Structure 1
Amino acid sequence: MTHPPYFAPHGGLPGQAALHTGRAVFTEAYAVIPKGVMRDIVTSNLPHWRGARAWIIARPMTGFAETFAQYVMEVAPGGGSDAPEPDPGAEGVIFVAEGAVEIALGEIAHLVEPGGYAYLPPGCGWRLRALGEHPARFHWIRKRYQAVEGIDAPEPFFADEAEIAPVAMPGTDGRWATTRFVDPDDLRHDMHVNIVTFQPGGLIPFEETHVMEHGLYVLEGKAVYRLNRDWVEVEAGDFMWLRAFCPQACYAGGPGRFRYLLYKDVNRHPALALPGA
């Protein structure tokens, strides 16, 4: 099975003669963390993980992400964790960009390779081990699950993006399409992690302004993205955070496809009081 390329950081440091000027931006409405700042010195070591390091590119905090945390994990062959998730109320999504991992639920182990996706509900007790001769690199998105009375919690599942037909946006002739791992009408799920693809020349033709918080990691290609009042050039390896109601739009200029991994919170009422209020 053939998969498209997925960018993942490899760390390292620029030379002392490198120019300092970059594209990193942090505002009250959005942030851009370009691939050039994902270096060795900004990685985190995590409890109960072996041979692993993480670029933590989003975390709940005042003035930044409110609903989720997102990591780019790098795990050496044979490394991993038997107790990866510290929060019993957290759900997770794993999306593999490079290498291969084994994710075990109880006695059943699942091979997850590039393009592979795993949804891991709260309390499922998953374990992960990197396979092969090279490091595995994958996204790990975490969210505190919002249970709803009368609606069952979702079950774990595994998928491969190559086996899912992208859904084209109406009137775009396929230039803008979304690979959906979860049915939008499945109210058990309170977050979606999708892959959005723009062909060269594809665009978001209006300023989306909506309640959903976003995390966008560019997997392939380049584009110009509208973030609040600014147009920002982004490329494979860049991460964007957009707070709720931040206006957004996009032009994909080519020469190849522009694709990103998209997080958004969905299917729940807004809380009417801030946490701790």
Structure 2
Amino acid sequence: MTNHYYSGMGGHPPQTDLLTDRAVFTEAYAVIPRGVMRDIVTSYLPYWEQTRLWIIARPLSGFAETFSHYIMEVAPGGGSDKPDADAQAESVLFVVEGEVRLWLGGSAHTLAAGGYAYIPAGAQWALHNRSAALAKFHWIRKAYEPVAGLAAPDPFVTNEKLAELHGMPGTDGKWGTQRFVDPADLRHDMHVNIVSLEPGAVIPFMETHVMEHGLYVLEGKAVYRLNRDWVEVEAGDYMWLRAFCPQACYAGGPGRFRYLLYKDVNRHPRLLRG
């Protein structure tokens, strides 16, 4: 089955459009619909050439505090030899449009749509668009939390086509997850996976857990229960959940519903000190 990745952000709406949209920011969750990811809200970064980005999540006190999430748009000839000056930041890259050239761990890799890379904290890397078309990719960053006696994770590059879909028990594979890291590998303190639900499939209970989430809808549409509310979401929308936000989902179809999912894992919660 062909995989689709929404990447139609940008542009500017006409004066005739209605102001009302589905954007909402609450004490427990935020929904950033695709219709608000326009040219006027883009940002730029030092050391990046011919590149702009949408910052759709960043640490906020009292909300989600562990990660940032960008959608990067790199024009032909653009990119960076010094993409991240924060030596504590680990990263995941996921390409949704075009093609980029990634230098990581002494090797060069070409990442097309579906390409996935894990970059450990402190690693030397560079990224450029050597093609004649725009390239777009998701960039998720977290401050790595080292543990005495555990080695740092290794860098790796893959494609989601190579990631097996693990079906949830009792769902006949209609709800499943493509994992890029072994959940039992305690070196990793974050997971970025792809979750898929076939039409009619559900997350059948209100998940309420310590992990923070960022969910970018790659394909399809669904109705999501977030805290007290049912919210309609579609490809290109982003859901940003703080810890313990209750959540469930009904994928009504007509096609698959798929999203890129961040969560923090495998570490003690940090305790406040007086």
TM-score of the two chains, using structure 2 as the length reference? 0.98
Aligned to 1:137: 136
User: What is the rounded CA distance, in whole Å, between the counterparts of 2:226 and 2:180 in structure 1?
Assistant: 26
> Match of 2:203?
204
Which consecutive residues of structure 1, in runs of 5 or more, have no partner in the other structure?
none
* Counterpart contact for 1:207–1:247, Cα < 8 Å: yes
Q: What letter corresponds to residue 239 of structure 1 in structure 2?
A: Y
1:174 alignment partner, SS class = coil
Tell me the secondary structure at the aligned position of residue 122 of structure 1.
coil
Following TM superposition, by how much is the alpha carbon of 1:159 offset from its aligned partner in structure 2, in angstroms? Answer: 1.1
Partner residue of 1:257?
256
Deviates more, 1:122-131 or 1:253-262: 122-131
Q: CA deviation at 1:125?
A: 1.1
Rounded to whole Å, the distance in 2 between the matches of 1:260 and 1:8 is 13
- Cα distance in 2 between the residues matched to 1:19 and 1:105: 45
Distance 1:107 1:78 in 2: 21
What pairs up with 1:89-238 in 2 under 5 angstroms?
Answer: 89-105=88-104, 107-238=106-237
106 and 212 in structure 1: CA distance in 2 versus 1, 3 angstrom threshold = closer
- Partner of residue 47, structure 2: 48
Aligned partners of 2:232, 2:109: CA distance in 1, in Å? 37
Match of 2:244 in 1: 245
2:52 is aligned with 1:71: no
Alpha-carbon contact 1:92-1:142 (below 8 Å) kept: yes
CA contact (8 A) 1:103 1:127 kept: yes
Runs of 4+ in 1 over 6 A off after TM superposition: none
Whether the aligned pair in 1 keeps the contact of 2:76 and 2:133 (CA below 8 Å) is yes
Distance in 1 between residues matched to 2:23 and 2:8, nearest whole Å: 16
Distance 2:109 2:2 in 1: 18
Query: For the Cα contact (< 8 Å) 2:191–2:264, is it kept in 1?
Result: yes
Counterpart CA distance in 2 for 1:125 and 1:3 is: 33
SS at match of 1:46: coil
Per the alignment, residue 38 of structure 1 pairs with 37
Residue deviations 1:106-142 (CA, integer Å, cap 9, x gap): 5421111111100000111110001321110000000
Deviation at 1:105, TM superposition (A): 2.0
Question: Which moved further from structure 2: 2-11 or 246-255?
Answer: 2-11
Cα separation, 2, equivalents of 1:198 and 1:149: 38
AA in 2 matched with 1:113: A
**Range moving further from structure 2, 126-135 or 150-159:** 126-135
- Residue 3 of structure 1 deviates from its aligned partner by 4.7
Q: Aligned AA for 2:219?
A: E
> What is the distance in 1 between the residues matched to 2:44 and 2:271?
36
* Contact 2:64–2:243 (CA under 8 A) maintained in structure 1: no
**Distance across 2 between alignment mates of 1:96 and 1:131:** 15
Counterparts of 2:179 and 2:137 in 1: how far apart (Å)?
18
- Residue of structure 1 equivalent to 2:269: 270
Superposed CA RMSD in Å reads 1.1
Identity %: 68
Alpha-carbon distance in 2 for matches of 1:236, 1:23? 13
1:107–1:186 Cα change, 3 Å: closer
Aligned equivalents of 1:91, 1:130: Cα separation in 2? 21
TM-score, normalising length from structure 1? 0.97
